[in-house]
Amino acid sequence: MPDTLTTNSQIIAAYRAATPGSAAASEKASRLFPSGVTHDSRYIEPYGLYVTRAQGPRKWDVDGNCYVDYFGGHGALLLGHCHPKVVEAVNRQIKRGTHFGASHETEIAWAEWVMKLVPSAERVRFTSSGTEATMMAVRLARAFTGKSKLIRFKHHFHGWHDHMTSGYASHFDGSPTPGVLPGVAGGLLLAEQNDAEGLARLLAENDDVAAAILEPTGAHGAQLPIDPKFLTSLRELTRQHGVILIFDEVVTGFRVSPGGAQAQYGIRPDLTTLAKILAGGLPGGAIAGRKDILDLLDFQVTKSADREKITHQGTFNANPLSAAAGVAALEIVGTTDACAAA
C-alpha cells in the first residue's frame, strides 16, 4: 500500500505544488539511476529538489524557490557557496589547465597548508575522496604494524568501502553487508564509543589489531557526542598496545578548529583522513600523519629499508582545480575566524 504520509498529507501536497520542475526532473532521473539518485542521502520521498544555482548560504531550485542551505554540500562548504576567493582561484586555474597528469606547484602549496594547520601532519598524500583516504589509512596501518584487525566504533561513518559498511547503519553484530566477503568482516572489531573499559578488554583479548579508527567528535558528525576523556583513554590504550590511531577528520577537519578536532582536544593521532573542506567544495581527500608510516609510500625509503612499497595511484589525486580551491579555502580557514563564524 502507498505511504499516505508521502502521498496525501497537506505538507506533501504543498511541496508538490511548489516544486513541479523537481518532480519532472525526478521522473526522468528514475529512468537513469537506481532510485533516481546518485547519492543515498539525496533520496527523499516523494522526490528531492533539483538545484540550479547557489550563492553564499542559499540555493535555488529549478522552480525558482530559494532555500537557506544548512547542508552545505554534504559538509564541504564551510565558506558557503561560491566564495569569491575560491571562485577566483578555480577560474584562474581553469585557464591554465584542468588536469596535467603531472606534478604541479599548487599541490605543494596545498600540502603546506595541511601541514601548517593539522598537528599530526608530518607527511601528506592526496586522494580523490574521503572514502579513498580511509582505504589507504587502513592499508598503511596494516602494512606498518604487520597486524590485520581493525577496531571501528558503532555508528561511525568512514565511507562506503568494504571495511566500513558493517556497524554504521546496520549489521551491528559485525556480520558482512551484501557484497562484502565474510573474511573482510571477520577482520573488524566493533566497539562502543565512550566505553574505555570495554575498549581495554577488546585490546587485551586481541593482539592482532593494526588500527582503531573513529570520528573524533562522535558518530554521525557528533550527533552521538564523544566524551573528550574517552579520546584521552583511546590514545593511551592504542599507544600501549602498538595500535595505529586514525582520526577520520573528513567532517571535522578545518571545521571544529583550523586544525580539526585533534587541535581542539590536544590529542595527536598517528594518521588523519581528510576531505570535504580540504578541497574547498571540489572533490579531494588526503591522508596525513607520521612520516615513518607514510614512508611506506616512498620509493627511496622503502628501497633503502628493503621493504615493499605500498602502491598508490589515482588519476585525479591532487587535481589542479581541487588543489587551487583547497589552497584558497585553507588560507581563509588559517588566517581568519571562519571556523568560529561558521
Query: Comparing C-alpha atoms, which of 195, 171, 198, 203 is closest to residue 185?
Result: 171
Give the pLDDT band of residue 223 (cuts 50, 70, 90): confident
pLDDT, tens only, 300-338: 999 999 999 999 999 999 999 999 999 999 999 999 999
Domains of the chain, each with CATH number or no CATH? 4-70 (3.90.1150.10), 84-341 (3.40.640.10)
124-177 confidence digits (pLDDT tens):
999 999 999 999 999 999 999 999 999 999 999 999 998 888 777 778 787 888
- Beta-bridge mates of residue 287: 125, 273
Instruction: Report the chain's mean pLDDT, rounded to a whole number.
Output: 95
pLDDT at 7 over 70: no
Taking only the tens place, the pLDDT of each residue in 21-70 is 999 999 999 999 999 999 999 999 999 999 999 999 999 999 999 999 99
C-alpha 119/C-alpha 108 separation (Å) is 18
pLDDT in tens, 79-117: 999 999 999 999 999 999 999 999 999 999 999 999 999
Q: Where are the beta strands (DSSP E) in 136-235?
A: 149-153, 188-191, 209-214, 218, 224-225
Reported pTM: 0.95
- C-beta of residue 287 within 8 angstroms of C-beta of residue 295: no
Q: Which three cell numbers stand for residue 277?
A: 573542506
pLDDT at 186: 86
Contacts (Cβ under 8 Å, ≥6 apart) of 141: 150, 210, 211, 244, 246, 270, 271, 293
pLDDT of residue 44: 93
Residue 183 has pLDDT above 90, yes or no: no
CB atoms within 10 A of CB 220: 15
Spatial neighbors of 151 by CB under 8 A, at least 6 apart, are: 188, 189, 190, 191, 199, 202, 203, 209, 211, 212, 213, 243
Contacts of 9 (CB under 8 A, 6+ apart): none
Sign of CA dihedral 301, 318, 314, 273: positive
Looking at residue 1, its pLDDT comes to 44
